[in-house]
Structure formats: structure tokens, C-alpha cells
Amino acid sequence: MSMLQEFKEFAIKGNAIDMAVGIIIGAAFGKIISSLVADVFMPPIGVLIGGVDFTKLAFPLKEAAGNAPAVTLNYGNFIQALVDFTIIAFVIFMAVKFINSLKKKKKPRLRQHRQNHPEKNCY
């Protein structure tokens, strides 16, 4: 079997296509969450703590010299990334929790059906 044929079989499988769609949607979802955090959540938080813009928070490691720019440790961007991650993780947790709750509701119905109709049990 040639490499091209193997690749076609892999790409046509549902799992590969589902994974690709999930990655694309995940990337778009990440951009939406980043915008939500940067444009909606962080400005009011900055106002509450004294008008601080988190993205501009930095600790200078070396001052600018001549044409060389200053070297800074941008911990404000890190705080922003932590808030992004926390929100994304919470949303994913809630989605998984919702999906699991749907699965739990289906199982008791099947068990109840098997108890009520033992003659139709396949197992």
C-alpha cells in the first residue's frame, strides 16, 4: 500500500476529521475567550485595583542602551494568560459536566427497561 493511499485512508476516517474540526473550533473559541478576558473582564478589574493595565505590567531587567531596547519581564501578560486559561478550563469543565449528565440520564432508562422486560434482554 502506497503512502498516499495510507494517508487517504487516515484522512477519510471520521476520527481524523472530527479531530481537525475540534482543533479549528477550539482555536476560534480560544480567540473569543481571549477577547472576552482582555476586553471585558480585565479593564474593570484594572479599574478596581487602581487603573492598572495588566498587559503593561513589567519588571525591567535591563534598561535600554543605545539602539538596544530594554529587557523586561512582562508578568502582566502572564496574569492575563492565567485568567484566559482559568476561564477556558472552567467552560470546558462545565461542558464536560453537562455531557456527562446527559449520559447518566440515559443509563437508568436502559436498566429500567431491562428490569421491566427481561424476555427482551440480549445479555
- Would residue 123 count as lying in a domain? no
Segment 2-23, tens digit of pLDDT? 888 887 777 777 677 778 888 8
Segment 109-121, tens digit of pLDDT? 666 666 776 666 5
Record the cell numbers describing residue 30, joined without a space.
480560544
Q: How far apart are CA 76 and CA 39, in angstroms?
A: 15
- Would residue 106 count as lying in a domain? yes
Backbone angles phi, psi at 61, to 5 degrees: -95, -35
Segment 73-109, tens digit of pLDDT? 999 889 888 887 888 788 778 877 887 888 766 555 6
| CATH number for the domain harbouring residue 32 | 1.10.1200.120
- Phi-psi category of residue 50: left, alpha or beta, with phi > 0 → left and psi -120 to 50 → alpha: left
In the chain, how many domains are there?
1
Range of the domain at 26: 3-118
What integer is the mean pLDDT of 44-63? 84
Strand partners, 62: 71
- Would residue 104 count as lying in a domain? yes
pTM of the model: 0.53
Compute how many other C-beta atoms are within 10 angstroms of the C-beta atom of residue 76: 19
- Would residue 76 count as lying in a domain? yes
